[in-house]
Structure 1
Amino acid sequence: MHPKARECIKYLVADGRYDYIETGSLISIKENVKNIVIPSEERHLSMYPLDFEEFCDALGEGQIIGYIRKCFADREPLENELHHKAMLLFKQYMLVGGMPQSVIAFLESRKDFDKADVEKRDILALYRSDIMKIDARYRSKVLTIFDQIPGLLSQHEKRVVFSNVVAQSTADQYEETFFWLSDSMISNECFLCNDPNVGLSINENRSYVKCYLGDTGLLVSHAFDENELLEDEVYKQILGDKLNMNEGMLYENTIAQMLTANGHKLYFYTHYNTEKHRNDIEIDFLISNNSKLKYKMYPIEVKSGKRYSIESLKRFREKYKARIGECYVIHPRSLCFKEDIVCIPPYMTICL
């Protein structure tokens, strides 16, 4: 967005003959404000990548969304063939993402992932170009975190260990970095909340953060170079559930993206057991119903494999049972129940 054009909007709107839409990357919009008056007439709209429902609509598969919502409400699994179809759509969404250019390339090429990948790499290049425009005080740190997101998410805990980013660095040195990435909608932040109570944000600990890329399709292209995608046939492996490395990070990033699209702020929980010298409770996501009178929270564990343990979630439920509405496991199987824990396929995340 050109700064002077933005300043002129005030007079153009006052003229009354037209409505105007201003667009631009958030970094550019925030940086190009020196020596101009920000028009009070502006109304800000946050534009996210396509969510899963919109992606299905784009592929001409919108009808399945109503069926997914009905089955979730009735606590019933989808009919087996439709479950496989919904899982295929979810995996396509995970690989292509929701950036419009990528989705269009995927559709126009008759679902060629490589054509979508070209568009995604162009977007990643634009991100890097935009980052180079920000204040020099933050630029190198923002680039460092942006480049390291795939590596951070491939770890078991997935949270940022600042001393591993740069030796002897601390969380407060990177606070502005994560602000820039999330405020520009490049990333989705997830903060630690170790005393989940009324208003998760009141008890957030910003020293502990997980940094998800705002679009999982971009994460796929960010994590693998072109040769890896082609030679290792990564797309085919993920579609066939045969990718051992990194699939968990892609699943978790997609769930973060879907929860964000549903309006949820992201929080996670850990509990360190001093006797065992390790975390004995780890909850991937905490969401709440945002009620001040009948507050309930909903812990979510994301499992990319079909074999997993729910002990951590059970311990969390026992510890905070008075505050919990329902507990969810998101897994690749159909909807089922395990000891009163609702286990749902990832495409049902839209219902949370």
Structure 2
Amino acid sequence: MLRRKIETQLEAWRSAPKRTALLVTGARQIGKTYIIRHFAQQHYDHIAELNFIENPDLVALFDRPRDAKNLLMRLELAVNTPLVPGKTLIFFDEVQRCKEMVTAIKFLVDDGRFDYALSGSLLGVELEDIRSVPVGYLTELDMYPLDFQEFCWSQHIGNDVFDMLAECFAKHQEVDEFIHQRLMELYSKYLVIGGMPAAVDSFVANGSVADVRTIQENIKREYRRDISQYARKEDRLHIRAIYDLVPSELNNPNKRFTFAKIEKNMRFQSVASDFDWLVNADVAVAAYNVDEPCTPLEMSKERNLFKLFYNDVGLLTGSFLKKTALDVLDGNPDINYGSIYENAVAQELRAHGFDLYYYNSKKLGELDFLIQDRNDHVLPIEVKSGKSYKRHRAMDNVLAHPEYHLNTGYVLGPCNVSVEGNVTYLPVYMAGMFHNE
């Protein structure tokens, strides 16, 4: 079994003094169902699972909110598992097909006899218009593809290594060279395999990159089917086109999305909701341009200027030719890893609780990412994939600007830890050291 960080959050939910229902959200194929089943097997004598896709007739049982007595009678008739108070987890899966279940959960939580978990995909899209989200009755946990540390766990790298990395990050100390090289090799694998559990499981089992690419393509096909099934009919072609354009747009010099690629003379206003659909469905990660690199970043966000990334770097690398994947694995110095590195960093920062922004000025240059930490400090980040990682004109210009008051910048690249002036250089695998959960 793949070890996941969300297990700690599940333990915290179960031990909380005030019990709520658990809602695990995230993209399809990231392991939501599996992790809830595994958690239930460890902590409950019984698990009653209702899947609204596998058994669509169940939707009619919860077509409108009812009292707890009525709902529980319906549940007893719908499952073959004994419902033992205090020892049973009732798990509603694929709840995007039964929106009223999320509203009705408050009656069951108030009843208090059982614990409840809910999960589903595209909840940011399908539950957007729900009539009454039961505030105070749901604990919502976001789940993502495996980050780099979780991938390393699958490769038998223990927490002691990451404790050491955290210390090096905090003290700006070099990582032991042997460990650094080993982690860079693992990172190259991660860029190809990514963090989708099925892909990682397959790679752990047989080491075949070809099998991994097949799994990745199947996942993307499933995402495209979701677009056809869940998006509004008039939006489907544009959403599909946007999703398929992400790899080529990230390979553009400025990586900013060009609307004309979707359709000639296309304007942002006509497709804004289509971009939102992909982000809200958790299959894409957006970084928005800001007017100024100053807190609060959200205030100066420009909605019509953004970069779009896949939710998993492996899906991006799998979109390229097989030779590209082999070059990444081999660390071929002649390959430009820029878009792949940036996607991996965007994915990692988003999973660690950050909203993503970037800054682009004709006068000062472009910063790849801006994030805002828990102390409301703005941290500029540049991502470099080549040997010239110490060339960063935009970073130097922004740090020197007297009105921005930025004390330090970070460069993530194929390097070890070092500090020069107010710029800290970090190995790209240390993107996970930034936390904002």
Match of 2:345 in 1: 255
Tell me which of 133, 137, 147 is aligned to 1:51.
Answer: 147
Displacement of 1:263: 0.8
Unaligned runs of 5+ residues in structure 2 are 1-50, 53-58, 63-97
2:432 is the counterpart of 1:342: no
Tell me which of 287, 298, 312 is aligned to 1:190.
Answer: 287
Q: What secondary structure does 1:20 align onto? A: strand
- TM-score, length of structure 1 as denominator length: 0.87
Displacement of 1:101: 1.2
2:228 is the counterpart of 1:132: yes
Match of 1:296 in 2: 377
Letter in 1 for 2:396: K
Match of 1:79 in 2: 176
2:181 is the counterpart of 1:91: no
Q: What secondary structure does 2:388 align onto? A: coil
Distance 1:180 1:320, change over 3 A: farther
1:72–1:351 contact (8 Å) kept in structure 2: yes
Displacement of 1:45: 2.2
C-alpha distance in 2, partners of 1:91/1:100? 17
2:382 is the counterpart of 1:286: no
Distance 1:296 1:129, change over 3 A: same
Letter in 2 for 1:330: L
Identity %: 29
**1:147-170: CA deviation from partner (whole Å, max 9, x where unpaired):** 100010011100012123321111
Match of 2:413 in 1: 331
Unaligned runs of 5+ residues in structure 1 are 274-279
2:102 is the counterpart of 1:18: no
**1:282-326: CA deviation from partner (whole Å, max 9, x where unpaired):** 1000112243xxx42111111100124222211111115652132
Tell me which of 313, 325, 340 is aligned to 1:235.
Answer: 325
2:384–2:413 contact (8 Å) kept in structure 1: yes
Tell me which of 280, 298, 318 is aligned to 2:400.
Answer: 318
C-alpha distance in 2, partners of 1:35/1:81? 53
Displacement of 1:91: 1.6
2:125–2:277 contact (8 Å) kept in structure 1: no
Q: What secondary structure does 2:379 align onto? A: strand
Match of 2:238 in 1: 141
C-alpha distance in 2, partners of 1:244/1:328? 24
C-alpha distance in 2, partners of 1:172/1:244? 39
C-alpha distance in 2, partners of 1:156/1:112? 32
1:296–1:325 contact (8 Å) kept in structure 2: no
Letter in 1 for 2:227: I
C-alpha distance in 1, partners of 2:304/2:198? 35
Distance 1:334 1:35, change over 3 A: closer
Q: What secondary structure does 2:118 align onto? A: coil
Report how many aligned residue pairs link the two structures. 334
C-alpha distance in 1, partners of 2:223/2:418? 40
Displacement of 1:76: 1.1
2:191–2:328 contact (8 Å) kept in structure 1: no
Distance 1:336 1:164, change over 3 A: same
Q: What secondary structure does 1:330 align onto? A: strand
C-alpha distance in 1, partners of 2:241/2:266? 13
Distance 1:321 1:77, change over 3 A: farther
1:297–1:326 contact (8 Å) kept in structure 2: no
2:238 is the counterpart of 1:156: no
Distance 1:95 1:317, change over 3 A: same
1:296–1:323 contact (8 Å) kept in structure 2: no
Tell me which of 209, 230, 233 is aligned to 1:113.
Answer: 209
Distance 1:193 1:75, change over 3 A: same
Task: After TM superposition, list the pairs within 5 Å mapping 1:164-183 onto structure 2.
Answer: 164-183=261-280
Letter in 2 for 1:180: W
- TM-score, length of structure 2 as denominator length: 0.71
C-alpha distance in 1, partners of 2:343/2:250? 8
Tell me which of 197, 205, 219 is aligned to 1:100.
Answer: 197
Q: What secondary structure does 2:240 align onto? A: helix
1:328–1:342 contact (8 Å) kept in structure 2: yes
C-alpha distance in 1, partners of 2:255/2:404? 28
Displacement of 1:108: 1.3
